[in-house]
Structures are given as structure tokens and as C-alpha cells.
Structure 1
């Protein structure tokens, strides 16, 4: 079925729609129309709200519906009011935790699923780069922020067809708090033919984090739609000041440390793979492995002593405690209770080997340093594999090993150690590299 969509912003506003605009975005309340006193009072209230709207957009405050005012009203925009109305959201609401989960409950047919994912991920990254916030994508509705493109929805804020209101969002909180709704009557795009999902998502997610509208036309939180190329979308100083007022500045990255300063001098400096199995950290090197319990007792032996079926060099390993299974990678072979090809698990044919793997049980995800794997659905997540630098800036292209310890993910590359933040899974990484 073809949807009648139109991105034209030249919609004629009659007196009724002008009143609706001021009611929706500036809390205009004309009351019941009882002449003659009430009509005079209503006219005064109307003029006051027009001036308030003109002041917000930096227009000349005439109190009349002059051409400049009408043109601003005709522009496509966000459905959240421009005035600070926290009647339902007192005390400048914000998320209590710095790790925030999100999910996309319904996708638009206008774009490929992976393009929707990428646009949302890029929009979230704008805010996480400026704050200590980290965002985790879930595949179910038990997320803090639910994004969707509903055909119809019962939140008492209906959309108005093509043009006009493009989307709206709710402030942080329970229930619908933080949720984002995009008008499916619009044409959504990652390019130029339609409305940029990246632009609108970045704006609406600002509301989801607790921000109101900005008067600065260069700000992401400016209420009216502004199209730019995706490469040019970035937070303005006003956006940064607003979000850091709520959540503070981003965490500083820890300095690089040399592994030899932390370990026994006789301990090997380079490893092929590392994983945590029950209470023991297993370090694999060539055909030998080293076991240590909480870093204070080392034992060394041949791999076949612990893993009789493995005789080759191990590239990566990870353990899923809930399943009681450890997975071992050697070349294109992945082994647990049985050996099999990595391609049976959904890896792209471009993948020749797995360099490192770490399982994050809280989210049912395994990070492979070739991609991210959904253990529940047994498939690679949309948008993977992608470049390591997209999630961990400063990390080299090649990673030797990774493991999770006490809620943190540790990552190794050669002799050097570095601890960073992961954008998607919000865990800390300790990385060793040459």
C-alpha cells in the first residue's frame, strides 16, 4: 500500500490551526468563549502567547500573526512544547544511572533496518561523547528508552499527517518515560530525500535524557527541523552545556599501563587468548596455558592437560556460565562439546579467524573482535561486524585477547594495557597492545 507522503513545509495555517499551535507548544488556554468579556480576555491571552512564541524564536514581538511568525509556524518540528512545562515531570528529570538501555520496537519501511540502527546509534553517540552516559541496545521492550514508528499509538498526542509534527519524546521516568515516537506518515531517510532520521533522533533523544528546547538555531535541541548532511550534525555549545548540567562531563580515559609492571617478571608478556572459567583466569600461549586464581597463584601446563581435544594454537575463548560451556576458537574452527565451523554460527564468509571474544552475561551478548553475537537468537547483531574504532577510540585494529572480570571487560594486545569505555555494552575494557 502506498502512503501519501509529502515533505513540503508550506502548509496554510488558518486561525484554528494557529490556536492549536499555541495551545500545543505554548500552553494557550482560551477557556470557554462567553461574550463579551471573555472574548476580550481571550484576545489578550492570544496576543500574549503570540509574543511568547515570537520571543522564543527571536522574532519581532508584534503580538500579531505577521508573515514571519506564520512562516515559523509552518515549519516541520518536534511535538514537545517549547515552554518549560514540568507539571508531569518535576525537578528537571534525568536518569539515575549512567548506563541506559534502549530498543527499537518498530522500524520504518522507508529505510533498511541496518540504516535505522546506524542512525539511532550515531544519534546516541552524540550524547554519550559529551557525558559519562553509555547506551546498551536490547532486543526486548524491557528497556529504558523504546523507539518506534507507530501507525497509531495511544499516548494522547496524535500525529498530524505528513509535515507538521515529525516526532515526540517523553522525559526520563517510568512507563513511557524516555520513549520516542516517530510519525510514520513522514518519509524517513539516511540521505536527502525526506527527513533525516539521524537529525530527528538526536533531537528527540535529547528529550529522552531530560533536555527541553533550545532557542539557539544551531542547536540539536532547536524545535524546528533543520536539514544538514549527516557528517555535519553535532552538538552545539548550548546542547553540551545543557546535557552536562544534568549528567556531568565524560569520564577521563585511564592512562596506558605496561603489563610487566603488574605481573610477575617470569609471566609471559604476549598471549593468544584469555578467558575466565569459573574462578580461574585461563591465559593461552602457543600450545600451553597458564591458570591463575584471582591473580595470586599461577600454574602452567600443556593445553592438552586441560583440553585433551585441542592440540592447535588457540585464537580466542569465552565461557558462558549459565550454560556451563566454554567455546574455543582455533582458525576457522569453533569448539565446545563438539567442533564445528564458525560459519555455522552466522559469521560472515569474510571472517577468517576470531582474534578475541568476551561474553557479557547481563545482556546475553558475546563481543567477538570481528562482530557482536546474540547468544539467545544465535545470530550476529544488525550492523556487525563494524570497525573497532567506532566503539573504542584509540584501540588498534588487531586485538589479541579479551575477558570480563567483576563487571569489567579486559582486552589484551601485546605488552601494553589501556582501559576504555565501550559505547554499546557499556563495560570497561583493559586493552593490551604493542
Structure 2
């Protein structure tokens, strides 16, 4: 796996936008000067291409084109593009995509001194905040980013406000003292340095970018998580679903949780979690498992039990890992949780209070603001059905139906579960919706229900869902 190799930044020119052409690199069909400048700048910076002399003769430059073609092929191979050696539209589009400033190829082998932190407690500090985003949101972005890596390893991260820190995070513009200047809006978003003394482990973000905690601009959490992977010793991955993929992916959820590739890479350096929830978050006795809550996030299922949280994939390769990078580790008993994909909101209910996480914004309220009556002390299970815009709350023998569009409880509720949900036990512990079906978990069994046909489809063990 290429991501296990370590990296060293290469000094090169910034990305310069050019126009697209698909002409082959041949003497009679030469690329335009703009395309050549774009390609040379990109390949020098990220693929260690040796610079050509600016005053070279035409014949000398033509003789250097095979070397340029070779590097284009190398870049195309890395990104899984068709290896043409030409600046075709797909290649140019990839070159102009915003990305990390760390090269995609390594300048040296990691043996025998594979750079990594030789301790499990790592400190980090924020040397300079940016304007345009609150400090609280920036702090939270960095906290969630380090949590991704700590959930998968024995590493613990501690933020320090004074004194030295292992990893220093800062925002800067253009030339900023490390020989790798930023290039203004677009292009390179950030870069980081491998573990070590001095500047080792530090992360620099381009302050000229539009940083946000949502889907607009560049999401700080997504970029910070990637750069911290470099700070811990990882290089770039060729897997487009990996955090360590070099390019920024707009509107992609893959940037907010570690992929299997990321987990294998970081655990090759630091090992698996050794204690606490990260080591064995699942119940020990899977035959009698009873979950507190469950919810879908993308194609993953997130489970809660006794203040612990873990995630199981629903698509191959099926894996289970502790935590969920874009959810807060509440560390208390969770009664239920549900998500509303249309708004990107995740609700976590504990007792009479709820937390709602939307983007990186965290708000707190009471369950009575959701229309539940004052005699309800806690909710056993909840789920949202997007086709109808309804959220169902299960409380003891009863259930409520809340209209998210009108922001009020539907009239005629609560109703008895056994009256409307044929074949479902009187009490529901957790609920989620997957691929058109509703799954209601009660004890160690999962009940697959078709809400449109209003009938029970199947009764399954809850164990596969819970990752047992």
C-alpha cells in the first residue's frame, strides 16, 4: 500500500491555471505554452520532475518532452486515469483541482528510520486563528480531526494553550517562512510536515482560502484531518475514499471519516487501540446484546451502548471501528439518536435533553421542543422517514409521529405500538432506516418492517447490525 510510505516536500512552482488540450506530446503536435507551464509546475511540485532551463532552445525543449510525458503517465497512474502521457481534459481537470501541498511521490525510503511519534500522548496548539470563522468552530474542527486518528489508534491528543507543542496548527498567506509559499485562493489548500523536532508535525493552512464548517468553501475539518495524517507519518493514498487522498472532494462524505485504507495505514505505524471504548467498543456477550441507539450516516451504521459508540459499514468490505469522526463523543448514556439527511442534522437524545449536530454546529435543547409532552422523561428509540418528512419517537408502549415540515406533532398521537406495528414487541430499543426498510431493534432481535405496506418483512438477529 503506497500510503505507508513517507514523504518529504519538494520545492516547486505553484499551480498555474491553463487551458485544456488533448494533443499528444510529440514534435509535430506540441502542447500549448499555457498547458506546458501548468503541467511542469504541477509535476515539479508533486512528482519530483527536474526543472528545465528557462532559456533552453526549441530543440533542447523538444528533447525534454519524453521526460515530461513520463511524469504525466506517473501522475495519471497515481490517480487511476488512462495512462496516455498527454494533457487530456481529465488530466488537466485533476491538475487544477484544489489539493494538499505534500507531494504524491517520495524522495526517500522510510527504512531504517520510519518517521513517527515515539509516544502515544501528542500535544497540539493553534498558533494563529483565521478571521471569518469563529474560534469555537475552528477549535471544534481540529478537535474532531484529531479524534478521527485517536479513535483508530492508542494515540491521545491534548490541546495546549501555552508552552511548546508537538503539532502546531497555523494559518498563513503566501510566503510564510518554510520555503513552501502558498498560492492564493484555490490550488494548494494546506501542507504538513512529518513527525520530528522543530517544524516536524506542524500544519499550515492557506488563509486566502474560504474556510467553513459546512459544505460551502473548503471544510476545515476535512482538510485538517488529512494534514494531521501527514503529521502522524502517513503519505498520500490512491484510494479516492481515503482521508489521505490528496485532492479535495466537494460534496463528498468520504472526507469526514477514516476509510479502511486510512485505518490500516495509521495502525501500521501506531497499532490498534489498546484500552477504553476504542479497543473493544462492542458488547462482550453478543448473544444478549441490547442496544441503546442506532442511526444511519451515509452507508454506515452508528451504534450506542453504555456511553460507547462504534460504527459498522453496510457495504463490503464490512468493517467495524470505534467512534464516529463527525459525531461528538458524548460519553454518557444515549437514549436514542436519529439523522435527517435532507438538512444534514444528527440528533442525540439523552434524558430530557438533546444535542443536534449540523455541520460543525452543536446546539442543545429539550425533547419538549420537539413536541413531546411533559410527562415523557426519555425516548427509547427514534428514526426519520424522509419520504414522508416524519420522525417517529418510541416511548414505552407508545409512539409519536412528528412532522418536520410543520414543526409539530401529528394529531391523534401517541398511539400504541402494537396497534399499528404488527409483529413488533411492545418496547423498541433502537431504530434506523436502511435501503427502503425500517429496522426496529428490541433486545437481541431486529425487525425489518415495510412502512408503505404496513407489514413485518423479516425477523433477524441484531448481532450482524451491531458488529458482533
For normalisation by structure 2, the TM-score amounts to: 0.51
3-state secondary structure, aligned to 2:91: helix
Out of 227, 230, 235, the position equivalent to 1:207 is: 230
Write the deviation string for residues 174-208 of structure 1: whole angstroms up to 9, x where unpaired: 11100000000001000122100000000000000
In structure 2, distance between residues paired with 1:45 and 1:90: 31
Deviations 1:131-152 (A, max 9, x none): 0000000013510000001134
The secondary structure found in structure 2 opposite 1:205 is helix
> SS of the counterpart of 1:105?
strand
What is the CA deviation profile of residues 230-266 of structure 1, one whole-angstrom value per residue up to 9, with x for unaligned ones? 797100011001000000001133999xxxxxxxxxx
Determine whether 1:181 maps to 2:120. Answer: no
Tell me how far 1:52 sits from its aligned partner: 0.2
1:104–1:88 Cα change, 3 Å: farther
- Which of 47, 56, 59 is the equivalent residue of 1:26? 47
Change (3 A) 1:139 1:46: same
Q: CA deviation at 1:35?
A: 4.7
Deviations 1:147-179 (A, max 9, x none): 001134110000111000000000001111000
- SS of alignment partner, residue 390 of structure 1: coil
Q: Quick check: which has more Rg, 1 or 2?
A: 1
Query: Which of 125, 128, 131 pairs up with 2:150?
Result: 128
The answer as to whether partners of 2:193 and 2:202 remain within 8 angstroms in 1 is: yes
Q: 1-side partners of 2:116 and 2:219: how far apart?
A: 26
Match of 2:140 among 118, 126, 129: 118
- C-alpha deviation, 1:70, in angstroms: 0.2
Given that 1:130 and 1:250 are in contact with CA atoms closer than 8 Å, whether structure 2 keeps it comes out as yes
User: Is residue 38 of structure 2 the alignment partner of residue 17 of structure 1?
Assistant: yes
**Is 2:149 the partner of 1:143?**
no
SS of the residue 1:167 aligns to: strand
Question: Which residue of 194, 206, 212 maps to 2:217?
Answer: 194
SS at match of 1:155: coil
User: Following the alignment from structure 2 to structure 1, what is the Cα–Cα distance between the partners of residues 72 and 263?
Assistant: 29
Corresponding residue for residue 270 of structure 1: none
2:243–2:254 Cα contact (<8 Å) kept = no
- Contact 1:98 1:132 (8 Å CA) reproduced: yes
* 1:53/1:130 CA distance change after superposition, 3 Å: same
- Give the structure 2 partner of residue 248 of structure 1: 271
8 A contact 1:89–1:171 mirrored in 2? no
Partner in structure 2 of residue 350 of structure 1:
none
2:411 paired with 1:390: no
Q: Tell me what 2:187 maps to.
A: 164
| CA root-mean-square deviation | 3.1
Q: How many Å apart are 1:17 and its aligned residue?
A: 2.4
> Gaps spanning 5+ residues in structure 1: where?
1-8, 257-388, 399-434
Q: How many residues align?
A: 259
Counterparts in 2 of 1:37 and 1:10: CA distance versus 1, 3 Å: closer
Please say if residues 180 and 205 of structure 1, whose CA atoms lie closer than 8 Å, have aligned partners that are also in contact: yes
Distance 1:213 1:29, change over 3 A: same
Say if 2:243 and 2:255, in contact at 8 Å, map to a contact too: no
Contact in 2 for aligned 1:30/1:42 (Cα 8 Å): no
Shift of 1:37: 7.1
Question: Which aligned pairs between 1:30-429 and structure 2 lie closer than 5 A?
Answer: 30-32=51-53, 34-35=56-57, 38-86=60-108, 91-140=113-162, 142-151=164-173, 152-228=175-251, 233-253=256-276, 390=329, 392=331
Q: Unaligned 5+ residue runs, structure 2?
A: 1-14, 20-33, 281-327, 336-349, 352-468
TM-score (norm 1): 0.55
